[in-house]
Amino acid sequence: MNPSETLAQLLDAGQAHLARADLAAALAAFAEAHAVAPTDPRTCFMYAQGLAAAGRVREALVVADAARAAHPADANLLRLAIELAQAAGDLKRAVKLSTQLEVLTPADPLAHVKTGRLWMLVANSAAAETAFQAALALDPQCGTALDGLADLWRLDGATEKAREVLLRRAAVPDAPDIMAATRFKAATIQPVVARDVAEMDAARAAFAATLKAGPEAPLADPWALGLGPNFFLGYQARDDRALQEAQAAYFRSSTPSLDFTAPHVGRKPGARLKVGIVSNFFSKHTVGYLTLGLAAGLDRTRFDLVLFRTPAAGQDSITPKFAAVAPIVDLPPDLARARTVIAEAGLDILHCPEIGMDHFTYFLAFARLATVQSMAWGHPITSGLPQIDMFLSVDAMEPPGAEAHYREKLVRLAGLTFSGERPAPPDVADTFIDKTRPSYVCAQSMFKAHPDFDATLAAILRQDSDGILYFMGHSPATIAILTARLENVCGRDIERVRFLPRMKGNAFLAMARAADVLLDIPQWSGGKTSLEALAMGTPIVHQPGAFMRGRHTLAFYRRMGVDAMIADSPEAYAHLAGRAVHDQAFRKEVRAAIADRSDLLFNDQASIREIEDVWSRAVGDAILQP
């Protein structure tokens, strides 16, 4: 048999193994084929795809690179390399390769769309817009380009421009579910940074009316249509339970297949309870920080653990730490197949560190995939979903009567629910804060800045004529909106408002350490932001909000036994901010107390034991139910 016939037989055998879902056998066939023809485009393509499916993305990239070196004009190999680089978390490389694809296939609008999406992932809005517009110049009705432009402007806070593009997209003839989903997006879009409370009220009313009207067409896969939870709704400081439940009812009506139940649910558990954690954030993300200690600290004599990673998840230096403590299963980008993968694991407990951020996790949580299903405060709002049994919260964060805010059973835990490492002091100096003037830093994402907080900020600037108020920037559109909004209450003091670039890691820690005081937002309190600032010894002014999401820092202060920076009114808040900067005795006392007690916020294994006991009791209670 000649080499060509051998190669064809090996590739056919690999594809046959894949059809039987035997990935190991398929990989063996593809590897043998690759040994026969190490630069053949079809062989390399299949082998690299198989390696990626097995989680060996870096090896897949090596195979794809060798093939591309031999066939530099092969657009399919370049597309594969782009996807592999993105899957490996190397977004810089993915962008570079995608721009090469634009040059190689200049008449293909989808090449520009891919580049635009990648520019969005690295937060380069201007480049993303250029790419999407290039696609639309080639095809003014390119649906994916219109979708990308709408998402870009929506996330950047250009709400009206995003709505206009969505309506333009909805006018393009397409499948009924695509047109219905696009009209739904246009009707329910929420402002990223609102101009005022009235704009929030109008957007909420439109959302409620759309949900009440019900779906205009069946939606086979709402995730594939770009739908999901209405993320920015939660930043409006209202009780969102009714809207969250209405949204769940809407999607259950549009997509009955979401109501899936795994066959094993309710069975008697084995000697060790099987736990699955579903997340898009096994990484440096705040949700990853709040989850790693649980994954690492879970008692393996009582529990077995598997991690389910949702599609398009980012990977970074923290991801191997998750992989070291539990197997990571990459879920396929298809809700039905993903549900099957999780169901086949036979879980007793399914835990979602957040529901409301990652769209895939949200739609998976409609299903009953384990006997007990819980969520935590990675996104601190009720899911509104009937299949989520428990919301694991922190008693010190919750206001009286908080049970009414949740569709789930509220579990008030004594601990902070996580066991995170204390961040090490940064090895760099801050280059953003003006050290010659008092610094008041609102270090959270800018879309958390609620209009009701504006007057407090204006009061801080009025009482300190030399102080500088800093925000973390978001986008030109949102900075313009917030600046105009603050100018209405600050007047000429707006000249002392600065916007910092978004920053992470050592750069953020150095900035937090350099600040005189951090300003917590009552409507949405800092989580990891506050933990990092307190680890740096920087005081945070905190006024507890009406909902748990506005009370995280309160729990941290209570844990430390430090209450000097907790205000009970906007007036007291502004006064405390000034004292923390200018009252040297008070400043020294508060900083000393934080430095002395902040270790209590970290490495809290008791919180993990508490969650274990809650899960164990819940499984036992569920099994005993008739």
* Cβ pair 88, 315 in contact under 8 A: yes
Residue 9: per-residue pLDDT: 87
Residue range 439-601 in CATH 3.40.50.2000: yes
Amino acid letter, residue 82: I
Residue 92: per-residue pLDDT: 93
Residue 2: per-residue pLDDT: 59
Q: How far apart are CA 95 and CA 98, in angstroms?
A: 5
Residue range 259-421+605-624 in CATH 3.90.1010.10: no
Q: How far apart are CA 511 and CA 501, in angstroms?
A: 11
Cα–Cα distances in angstroms (integers) from residue 170 to residues 166, 173, 188, 359, 518, in the given order: 6, 8, 14, 21, 44
* 3-class DSSP assignment, residue 412: strand
Pairing of strands 409-413, 390-394: parallel
Which pTM was predicted?
A: 0.92
The Cβ of residue 582 has, within 10 Å, a number of other Cβ atoms equal to: 15
Residue 623: per-residue pLDDT: 79
E strand segments, 282-427: 303-309, 328-330, 349-352, 372-375, 390-394, 409-413
The Cβ of residue 535 has, within 10 Å, a number of other Cβ atoms equal to: 23
Q: How far apart are CA 278 and CA 345, in angstroms?
A: 12
* Cβ pair 379, 230 in contact under 8 A: no
* 3-class DSSP assignment, residue 544: coil
Total H helices, total E strands in the chain? 25, 12
Please choose, from the candidates 402, 427, 422, the residue with its C-alpha nearest in 3D space to the C-alpha of residue 412. Answer: 402
Q: Which two tokens stand for residue 613?
A: 């006991």
Q: How far apart are CA 502 and CA 535, in angstroms?
A: 20
Beta bridge partners of 412: 393
Domain ranges in the chain with CATH number 3.40.50.2000: 439-601
Please choose, from the candidates 442, 449, 440, the residue with its C-alpha nearest in 3D space to the C-alpha of residue 524. Answer: 449
Residue 18: per-residue pLDDT: 83
Residue 3: per-residue pLDDT: 65
Residue with tokens 């219109």: 146
Going by the DSSP 8-state scheme, the letter that residue 322 receives in this structure is: H
Amino acid letter, residue 388: I
Q: How far apart are CA 491 and CA 240, in angstroms?
A: 33
Radius of gyration of the chain (CA): 26
> What does the pLDDT look like over 429-464, one tens digit per residue?
988 999 999 999 999 999 999 999 999 999 999 999
Please choose, from the candidates 32, 464, 2, 245, the residue with its C-alpha nearest in 3D space to the C-alpha of residue 12. Answer: 32
Q: Which two tokens stand for residue 173?
A: 């003839």
Burial of 344 (C-beta count, 10 Å sphere; 0-12/13-18/19+) = exposed
Angle between helices 197-213 and 176-188 (to 10 degrees): 150
Residue with tokens 């601190």: 380
Residue with tokens 């070291």: 324
Cα–Cα distances in angstroms (integers) from residue 335 to residues 20, 127, 383, in the given order: 20, 31, 18
Beta bridge partners of 350: 276, 373
Please choose, from the candidates 505, 503, 155, 500, the residue with its C-alpha nearest in 3D space to the C-alpha of residue 316. Answer: 505
Which residues have CB under 8 Å from 339's CB, separation 6+? 260, 262, 364, 367, 369
Q: How far apart are CA 277 and CA 530, in angstroms?
A: 25
Which residues have CB under 8 Å from 459's CB, separation 6+? 570, 571, 574
Where the chain has pLDDT below 50, the residues are: none
Which residues have CB under 8 Å from 327's CB, separation 6+? 306, 307
Going by the DSSP 8-state scheme, the letter that residue 272 receives in this structure is: S
